[in-house]
Chain A
Amino acid sequence: MHELLLAAGGPGPVSTGEAIAFWILGPVALAGGLGMIFSRNAVHSALWLVLTMLSLGVLYMVQQAPFLGFVQIIVYTGAVMMLFLFVLMLVGRDSSDSVVEVLRGQRLWAAILGVGMAGLVVGAVARALTDVQTANLNGPDANGGNGNVSNLGKLIFTDYLFPFELTSALLITAAVGAMILGYLDRHSKGTKRTQRELVEMRFRGEYARPGSLPGPGVFATANSVATPALLPDGSVSGESLSRLIDTTASEELSGDVTSVAGSGEAPDAHALVSGANRSDTEENR
């Protein structure tokens, strides 16, 4: 596989295949980034970012870094983005962004600054690196000889051994930190009240009412939630109706109202009579 990937090498200009890959994947990566910024839904943002990361991974492979390309696909799009999606699903409904601008003109200024920064950086890089002599990774110390993976391993365990050990400390710190931050103490006193404590608090008046709200009444004539419950003295209990019913237009509930009042059409008394007889009676009419 990586002989194929490294075939793009050789000092000198970039091969045609690589140019084609770049001009396809580069715009795809940019589109993913823009889609991530502009989509309102956070899950869509995450999926756009997955697109960007996948195309960057392929660009790494094209650029003689097959190991990093696969790590990018496995670790970033496989693990990190799935972690993002998990947290998005846990956070849930709140994940869509608010449209309200807290600072006035923030989006406009961010866009202006972004365009300015892009212009500056792109201009600087384009002017500074006009004729780049690409050395390419073909020497025995680079991708030649044992290839990319084993040379990277050699480098990590010789020249970069100390940073690599520091990395292990970092990972342990991150794991412990995530455990501490994510830990929920469910069993200790004070975090969760028992049923007895809840009842005592209710009767002490710390809640609005000691019991639960009455449910809507279900009569023999109607099973609609718009039917209020009747209190023992026969009066209507307004608390038994959902708040949604108050906000619903009365025309939408008129069918229920007539059926409860009994003023509408009565059920067909001949509904159970067999079909042949009914057609006879209709013809007689």
Chain B
Amino acid sequence: MIRFLKDFTKRVLAQLFQKKKHIKLGFYGPPNSGKTTICNRICKDWLGEKIGTVSKIPHETREVVMKEKVNIKHKNRELTFNIIDTPGIATKIDYEDFMKYKMSARASKDRAKEATKGVIEAIKWLDDMDCVVVVLDSTLNPYSQVNITIIGNLAARDIPVLVVGNKTDLKKSNVKKIENAFPQYDVVGVSAEKGSNMEEFYESLFKLLK
């Protein structure tokens, strides 16, 4: 009886004073793979608001953006996440690439400068993540060094990884190729823009955080 009371008070006190831990869920990947689109989809589903703007021009997200306390429910389980959208990781940034989208030279140079800072910031955040979703464009070749570097770093840090093949609504999409490239990881094909297969995404995410 005394033991029961002791445990009970300990649990109540812990719940009262212990800060509730939120899972830091990072979204990493190369530029234009649809990280912000997936984050927007999740935040809209569970918070009713978006996290950031999306654009066809690469490096639209140039700062790490965090949405706190996102409660996601799936099959009688509820987890609270801090959703962290990161700038796309790249090994090169050429301001002239932005000028192809009818941006002025000045604006392109500024964008390139901000993008380089964004990449550095995204890499620095890697250590803080509890779990990472690597978002890849399923219409592109997955055997790129950036993808391998991101996944290799997460593996070295023992951070759980879920690989998402985005843009499955497009004709060229090939999720099988991503599965072959990263056979040791769970790969989910989704279309964040259309919202298709998000159930499977949540299923895999909750499975990863068991």
Do A and B assemble together?
A: no
Residues of B within 8 A of A (CB): none
